[in-house]
Amino acid sequence: MARSTILGDVARGVIAGSAAIYALDRLDNAMWGKEGAAVRAQTVAVRPGGLDPAHVLANRLASSVGLRLSPAQPNPLGVAIHYGLGGIMGALYAVLRPRVGFIGAGSGVPFGMTMFLLEDEAMNTALGTAGPPGAYPWQDHARGLVAHGFFGYVTDLLLRVLFGAQR
């Protein structure tokens, strides 16, 4: 592969990260379906308005301009925010991977898990788009950690397979 450029890596990362969000959602939904009804109910009860963080943000944005999203979840704006964040994280990974040696370690899994810790466990709570981490059942944390590790792996895999990115 020719020497990568930052702009090229951003474009490749947006594509890989957006596709990886689709894969993350499939795995996350499969694991969610295996959780007991009480665990799912506890997770929903902790979420602001019962919504996932992307939809909390979408509803806040709509409300700030005098709109009301119906349904509150799922809606196209919430889905776009979710995929957009995946694209941004994919771009970050694609830019850092060839420039910061340890970022690509573990085929992207540690990157995805770190993303979970920073985004889901810290940032979402700080922004009020999620409840406090201690209020969620342990299964929610485990599911998120696994799904985000998978996101990192799929992002890395797509960068290598589709774009010939080297380790």
Write the pLDDT tens digit of every residue in 82-101. Answer: 999 999 999 999 999 999 98
Q: For residues 148 and 112, what is the distance between their CA atoms, to the nearest angstrom?
A: 5
Domain boundaries, the chain: 6-163
Per-residue pLDDT for 1 more than 50?
Answer: no
For residue 89, give the amino acid letter. M
Q: Which two tokens stand for residue 102?
A: 């340890």
Question: Which of 79, 78, 40, 72 lies closest to 57, judged by CA?
Answer: 78
Per-residue pLDDT for 36 more than 50?
Answer: yes
CA 100: distance to chain centroid? Answer: 21
Tell me what pLDDT residue 44 has: 96
Write the pLDDT tens digit of every residue in 100-115. Answer: 989 989 999 999 999 9
**Residues 44-54: what's their mean pLDDT?**
97
**Residues 46-70: what's their mean pLDDT?**
96
Tell me what pLDDT residue 165 has: 74
The b/e string for 73-94 (b: 16+ C-beta within 10 A; e otherwise) is bebebbbebbbebbbebbbbbb
Q: For residues 78 and 136, what is the distance between their CA atoms, to the nearest angstrom?
A: 21
Q: SS3 of 89, please?
A: helix
Residue 117 DSSP symbol? I
Question: Which of 51, 133, 21, 141 lies closest to 63, judged by CA?
Answer: 51
Mean of all residue pLDDT scores within the chain? 95
Question: Which of 147, 149, 166, 163 lies closest to 16, judged by CA?
Answer: 163
Q: For residues 8 and 75, what is the distance between their CA atoms, to the nearest angstrom?
A: 31
Q: For residues 94 and 13, what is the distance between their CA atoms, to the nearest angstrom?
A: 5
Q: What percent of the chain has pLDDT over 90?
A: 92
Model confidence at 3, pLDDT cuts 50, 70, 90, reads: low
